[in-house]
Structure 1
Amino acid sequence: MNSLFLLGGVLLFVSVVATTLSARFGMPLLLGFLAVGILAGEQGIGHIRFDSFPLANVIGQLALAVILLDGGLRTSMSSIRLVLKPAAVMATWGVFATVVLLGIFTTFYLGLDWKFGVLMAAIVGSTDAGAVFSLLRNSGVRLNERVQATLEIESGANDPMAIFLVTALITMIMQPEQSGVFAFLWMLILQIFFGLLIGWLGGRILAKLVRRLNLADGLYALMIVSGGLIVFASTNMLGGSGFLAVYLAGVIVGNKHSLATEHVLRVMDGLAWLAQATLFVVLGLLVTPSDVLANGADAVVIAAFLMLVARPIAVFTGLWKGDYSRREKIYISWLGLRGAVPITLAMMPLVMGVPNSNLLFNVAFAVVVLSLLIQGTTIPVMAHRLKVAMPPKPEPVDVQDIWLSETESVQLTAYRVVAESEAEGVHPDKVAPISSSYEWRCFTLIREGRKVELHSDTVLRENDTAWYILPPDQVDKMAQYFTETGSTVRMNFDFFGEFVVDPGSRAGDLAQAYGLKLEAGEESLSLLELFEQRAESKHPVEGDRIEIGDFGLVVKELDGNGSVKWLGLKVPH
């Protein structure tokens, strides 16, 4: 028993430490966990023999439930409302179209029976929530809200279709006499119906319990995790999609902001990392590298077709009526990340005794590794090349909520002084302009790890950390003074333009001032009306733009209701 504990502790410890190396070399952290498992496995330096697919399947299901719950807790309802319809299309049609195209290709390329070829496609056909949540949020790049929300919500909601297709195809192979179109459609309806119903009910119940029960801080997260597992398991037992249910439950709880949810999010972050580390280490132990390499050439061809043909066609056909530019569609096509879900789905044929299912597992494993290596490492590069990346947003280095009651709080925000920023060399209380409608008062200044007494002649130095109590709408504004330098200002000018204009201004006045040519009838429109008339998207997000000759009109800021507050005007040089 102690040997088992020692082994588990060493593997997880090495996995966590190895993430520093993977981050330094620009590799996805998940590959670090996977590499540790492979090195510790039967053909690695650890020589650990682990071949229990049923046990690995149990671990995989449990870990994915925790990862999806954490992802749901961090998904804002505003993001869901923004992209609900297109994300739902991608979670259903997107998976189906990908599987059909890849299944036809795989069948002819490998010379397999069509059911086996489509089964292989169904296993790798859905994007992976764990990979998407982890890689997007740790990539160091800020995507526009429409793209990021679509990728995250699609990955959190596409499991029912993937599980339905895999289950249906296994049934057709193993029990063809029980196969029927109506039976399969009924199974899909149950997957979605019970997933949505129990996820919604479970989320509402958990949200109410979180707000009403008075527990020790650490117990709130345990209650949410245990409640999430109840939702996950009960949905599966009723024939629904437990993955969809636990994700939806997380969304509902996470959007009920309270003292308890703050404690939950802090603990859940560690639990989600533990789940991902455990899952990928186990998968690394389970795989036999020589078998994967033996099918490596086929996996490369299948992965290439998936990334370059099947996924793009599915995205462009699924989003052709949406509010997405061509560049956004290309980026969403490229970010069809595969992770633990395909490998977990590949265990189902092995557990159920499908002939030649080792081939399915090995190819799925190789496709996941290739996806993480190629797509996962190019998230920032492709975002900048396709111009869906946003300039870095000035943010505090730390935020602590001080709760005055169960529902009311104030925020303590910490800002670190960047060299050559406006805050450097200024008294902490004089950072913001005197004309500001809010009195900015610093209550603590930290310098080289020590608290500094504030006097009339105290000035901020590089790397000082100043703490303030601010209303929520002033937090980002204050961050600008601490983080913006000449280079960041130029970066914002390059993206949003040199001037800020009022959306209510008359388009004709702007055209007259700069000699712009407008279409007939556009002179009387406001700039916002002109933008809405010309824009590809009917629901603008920060960074959306239109062209007026050589000039650009860019959405610079939205208000709390999602309406355009300010536009940027980019002038040609």
Structure 2
Amino acid sequence: MIFNAENILLIGSILLFVSIVVSKTGYRFGIPTLLVFLLVGMLFGSDGLGLQFHDAGEAQFIGMMALSIILFSGGMDTKYSDIKPVLPQGILLSTFGVLLTTIFTGFFIYWISGFSNVSITMSLMTAMLLAATMSSTDSASVFNILRSQSMNLKHNLRPMLELESGSNDPMAYMLTIVLIQFITSAGMGADDILISFLIQFAVGGASGFLLGKLAVVIINKIDLKNQSLYPILLLSFIFFTFTMTDLCKGNGYLAVYIAGMMVGNARIVNRKEIATFMNGMTWLFQIIMFLSLGLLVNPHEMLSIAIPATLIGIFMIVLARPLSVLLCLLPFKKMNISSRLFISWVGLRGAVPIIFATYPVVADVPGSTQIFNIVFFITILSLVVQGTTISWMAKLLHLDTPLEKTGNDFGVEIPEEINTDLRDIVLTEEMLAKGDRLMDMNLPKGMLVMLVKRGNEFMIPNGSLQLHAGDKLLIISESKTK
């Protein structure tokens, strides 16, 4: 069966429904949700139930749209205060870490391709291209696993990992494009390669910063009567930022991530509605992207490359990634060995490497189908081996810590532009020692109790209200506490 205008909505709705239902079961067994989506796509694909989807160009387009939204959303959730202490480490990992991983893995691939019992034969440049496509950690996988498992980590490791995964795709993308150009043309000089890198970074960074600032100004000034249009307005900015940056020869992935940071760290109107919309869009496009990539692959073709792909995957997990991380983090003497080992382990591959592996296919690079199948195999291996053991590894290295509470249990929010703090507290016997009425609590000046929750009952407070241990108070204060 092939996709057409008559059945695409029916098939698409079934795929979405099955993916979401199956992901619930996978979550119980600690299987990464995104891996489940990938497997569902494979199950319904050409070697499974027979859905035919073989257009790498369409999959690449879906991937670009999805990554734009995922990276922008990840940027919105990245707070300056969190990444400031780990900014140098994150930048080194997302640039030199990617380059070192490419070099180490590329030489390993070239080395094993010379053995007669390994079913691949590649030139050095083709081996480097294969390594480049999977040299970055996958932002969708890292964001999803860290957040879906409600993981909190010591030593600022979580913001460091999210910063790295959100900002290292541009480096892998540029390496992939440059190597494709080198292979398919007469070759590029060192000066051309360097200039291409500088333009991609400079234009991508500048356009992301400027367009992100512009988005904040327009969102706050446009005064739309229908609040539901604000998230859609922001969505148009995401795609505009990516495409305009790409037209200007910059890196669109870097631009949307930085633009997301600009928006996420600024005061904007209707933040709650925008955040809810972006969260839903991120999940939708993650599912669509992984399903599409699962449908695109022909599983039977991976059997012939299973042995070399397994060797490459193990090398990346055990040697290439750890060695790259340890070299990048050498200047940071205060970072303990447990943190370095954990960062090395969270080298997740996911949709991004598979999408980058479609570029050689579209460019008709010799051996591109083999490259795609190897990358797909290694992605599954990484999600199974690393994705299912991240929380276990954090506990083993004593790096896990309870997740800090955000928001309040009352489900009440106030506009961000109002400079107040809204939080809840649970009363104890000690708090009620001087009296069990609200007037006896002697709250600090500028602090008011808005609601009282007792079990499932909500009460409007007044001074004579008798309080009990276990009551929850929703408190608003004049200014935000830091």
TM-score of the aligned structures, taking structure 1 as reference length = 0.76
- Give me the whole-angstrom Cα distance separating, in 1, the residues matched to 2:249 and 2:196: 7
Compared with structure 1, are the counterparts of its residues 267 and 145 closer, same or farther at alpha carbon in structure 2 (3 Å cutoff)?
Answer: farther
Q: Secondary structure at the match of 1:346?
A: helix
- Say whether residues 1:109 and 2:112 are aligned partners: yes
Compared with structure 1, are the counterparts of its residues 411 and 79 closer, same or farther at alpha carbon in structure 2 (3 Å cutoff)?
Answer: closer
- Say whether residues 1:74 and 2:77 are aligned partners: yes
User: Is contact 1:401–1:410 with CA below 8 Å preserved after alignment?
Assistant: no
User: Is contact 2:183–2:365 with CA below 8 Å preserved after alignment?
Assistant: yes
**Superposition deviation, residue 20 in structure 1:** 1.1
What is the match of residue 191 of structure 2? 182
Amino acid at match of 2:22: A
What is the match of residue 118 of structure 2? none
**Superposition deviation, residue 356 in structure 1:** 1.4
**Superposition deviation, residue 122 in structure 1:** 0.7
**Superposition deviation, residue 378 in structure 1:** 1.2
User: Is contact 2:152–2:401 with CA below 8 Å preserved after alignment?
Assistant: yes
**Superposition deviation, residue 429 in structure 1:** 7.7
Q: Secondary structure at the match of 1:445?
A: strand
What is the match of residue 218 of structure 1? 228
Amino acid at match of 1:88: I
Compared with structure 1, are the counterparts of its residues 11 and 113 closer, same or farther at alpha carbon in structure 2 (3 Å cutoff)?
Answer: same
What is the match of residue 300 of structure 1? 310
User: Is contact 1:446–1:466 with CA below 8 Å preserved after alignment?
Assistant: no
Compared with structure 1, are the counterparts of its residues 33 and 433 closer, same or farther at alpha carbon in structure 2 (3 Å cutoff)?
Answer: farther
Match of 2:395 among 384, 396, 405: 384
User: Is contact 2:451–2:460 with CA below 8 Å preserved after alignment?
Assistant: no
- Give me the whole-angstrom Cα distance separating, in 2, the residues matched to 1:432 and 1:10: 58
Q: Secondary structure at the match of 2:413?
A: strand
What is the match of residue 201 of structure 1? 210
What is the match of residue 6 of structure 1? 10
Match of 2:453 among 445, 457, 463: 445
Task: Summarize deviations over 1:512-533 as a string: whole Å, max 9, x none.
Answer: xxxxxxxxxxxxxxxxxxxxxx
Structure 1 segment 333-482 matched on structure 2, within 5 A = 333-395=344-406, 396-397=408-409, 400-403=412-415, 407-410=417-420, 412-413=422-423, 422=428, 434=441, 437=444, 441=449, 443-445=451-453, 447-448=455-456, 451=458, 456-457=465-466, 459=468, 467-470=474-477
**Superposition deviation, residue 163 in structure 1:** 1.5
Structure 1 segment 522-541 matched on structure 2, within 5 A = none
**Superposition deviation, residue 83 in structure 1:** 1.7
Amino acid at match of 1:201: L
- Give me the whole-angstrom Cα distance separating, in 2, the residues matched to 1:409 and 1:260: 15
Determine what percentage of the aligned residue pairs are the same residue.
33
Amino acid at match of 2:292: V
Match of 2:68 among 62, 65, 68: 65
Q: Which runs of 5+ in 2 are unaligned?
A: 115-121
User: Is contact 2:421–2:480 with CA below 8 Å preserved after alignment?
Assistant: no
User: Is contact 1:19–1:33 with CA below 8 Å preserved after alignment?
Assistant: yes
Task: Summarize deviations over 1:349-406 as a string: whole Å, max 9, x none.
Answer: 1001111111111111111111111111111111121122223435534654322xx7
Amino acid at match of 2:476: I
Could you say which structure has the larger radius of gyration? 1
What is the match of residue 517 of structure 1? none
What is the count of residue pairs matched by the alignment?
Answer: 464
Task: Summarize deviations over 1:256-277 as a string: whole Å, max 9, x none.
Answer: 1233333211110001001101
Match of 1:172 among 182, 187, 191: 182
Task: Summarize deviations over 1:40-71 as a string: whole Å, max 9, x none.
Answer: 11112x31011011111100111000100100
What is the match of residue 29 of structure 2? 25
Compared with structure 1, are the counterparts of its residues 238 and 302 closer, same or farther at alpha carbon in structure 2 (3 Å cutoff)?
Answer: same
User: Is contact 1:402–1:409 with CA below 8 Å preserved after alignment?
Assistant: no
Q: Which runs of 5+ in 1 are unaligned?
A: 475-559, 561-573
**Superposition deviation, residue 106 in structure 1:** 0.8
Match of 1:132 among 139, 142, 156: 142
* RMSD (Å), alpha carbons: 2.7
Match of 1:47 among 42, 47, 50: 50
What is the match of residue 526 of structure 1? none
Q: Secondary structure at the match of 2:277?
A: helix
User: Is contact 1:423–1:431 with CA below 8 Å preserved after alignment?
Assistant: no
**Superposition deviation, residue 246 in structure 1:** 0.4
Compared with structure 1, are the counterparts of its residues 209 and 103 closer, same or farther at alpha carbon in structure 2 (3 Å cutoff)?
Answer: same
**Superposition deviation, residue 198 in structure 1:** 0.5
- Give me the whole-angstrom Cα distance separating, in 2, the residues matched to 1:155 and 1:432: 51
Q: After alignment, is 372-381 or 307-316 more displaced?
A: 372-381
Amino acid at match of 1:239: K
Q: After alignment, is 314-323 or 60-69 more displaced?
A: 314-323
- Give me the whole-angstrom Cα distance separating, in 2, the residues matched to 1:410 and 1:425: 24
Compared with structure 1, are the counterparts of its residues 411 and 241 closer, same or farther at alpha carbon in structure 2 (3 Å cutoff)?
Answer: same
Give the number of the structure with larger relative contact order, counting CA–CA contacts within 8 Å between residues 6 or more apart: 2
Q: Secondary structure at the match of 1:259?
A: coil
Task: Summarize deviations over 1:310-360 as a string: whole Å, max 9, x none.
Answer: 111111110111242211111111111111110001000100111111111
- Give me the whole-angstrom Cα distance separating, in 2, the residues matched to 1:99 and 1:249: 27
User: Is contact 1:401–1:412 with CA below 8 Å preserved after alignment?
Assistant: yes
**Superposition deviation, residue 437 in structure 1:** 3.4
Q: Secondary structure at the match of 2:414?
A: strand
What is the match of residue 292 of structure 2? 282
Structure 1 segment 481-496 matched on structure 2, within 5 A = none
Compared with structure 1, are the counterparts of its residues 93 and 411 closer, same or farther at alpha carbon in structure 2 (3 Å cutoff)?
Answer: same
Q: Secondary structure at the match of 1:401?
A: coil
Amino acid at match of 1:81: K
Compared with structure 1, are the counterparts of its residues 8 and 346 closer, same or farther at alpha carbon in structure 2 (3 Å cutoff)?
Answer: same
Q: Secondary structure at the match of 1:441?
A: strand
